[in-house]
Chains A and B, each alone.
Chain A
Amino acid sequence: DAKTTQPPSMDCAEGRAANLPCNHSTISGNEYVYWYRQIHSQGPQYIIHGLKNNETNEMASLIITEDRKSSTLILPHATLRDTAVYYCIVWENTGFQKLVFGTGTRLLVSP
């Protein structure tokens, strides 16, 4: 079962920042937070991951709270092509490789 809770849907205006929250209150010390997204009719795409510190790459920023019980994925300037389902996943590097996806957040970016 997924260890994360996400809102089922969110809206964002094009050009504005999209802030997608995720709760993972039972996260353990060895578990990373991963974000993937799935654009319609495509396979999921990796966005970013982090353990404790905030992370930024060319796609997004990941803000993890100090107690690590929640995180926020930030798309700084959302475009129409960012319309997708966004999945927040916790993953522990213990040798098991499977990613456990929940139902994600459906982000709709509108003009």
Chain B
Amino acid sequence: DTGVSQNPRHKITKRGQNVTFRCDPISEHNRLYWYRQTLGQGPEFLTYFQNEAQLEKSRLLSDRFSAERPKGSFSTLEIQRTEQGDSAMYLCASSFRGRAAYNEQFFGPGTRLTVL
């Protein structure tokens, strides 16, 4: 399978704990995105990387959230001191910066976080 993969698929944690999610994009894709989705809502943008550079961050990305893409390949999203409001599906997507007027993003299956 050469699609976007995310690990773990499910994570249950206690309030106050730190969690880290991993995303492996499609290999030739140089752009990587993180979104968050709560029940009944569409995905909300969190942050975006082009290669290893983090170019956009949403105001939703509080100080407790940090994302990295150290070698321009896989990415990690860390949430420190988790809160119950962080419970959501965290989606990763990737795309290839080729044709300028084109933004097809390929999404992974997501990591479902439950904070107790």
Contacts and interface: CB of A to CB of B under 8 A. Distances in A.
Contact of A97 (B4, B40, B56, B106): B56
Interface string B77-97: 000000000000001010100
Given A97-B48, A99-B45, A100-B45, A32 B101 contact: yes
B97 to A, nearest CB: 9
A74 B52 CA distance: 38
Looking at B41, B43, B44, which has the most chain A CB atoms within 10 Å of its CB?
B43
A104 B43 CA distance: 10
Contacts of A98: 33, 45, 48, 56, 58
A41 B105 CA distance: 17
Interface residues of chain B: helix, strand, loop or mixed (majority)? loop
B110 interface: yes
Nearest to A95: B55
Contacts of B102: 49
A51 B108 CA distance: 26
A44 interface: yes
Contacts of B42: 2, 85, 87, 101-104
A41 B10 CA distance: 12
Contacts of A102: 42
A93 B106 CA distance: 18
A97 B40 CA distance: 23
Contacts of A44: 43, 91, 93, 105, 107
Nearest to A106: B40
Interface of B: 4, 31, 33, 40-45, 48, 55-56, 58, 91, 93, 95, 100-110
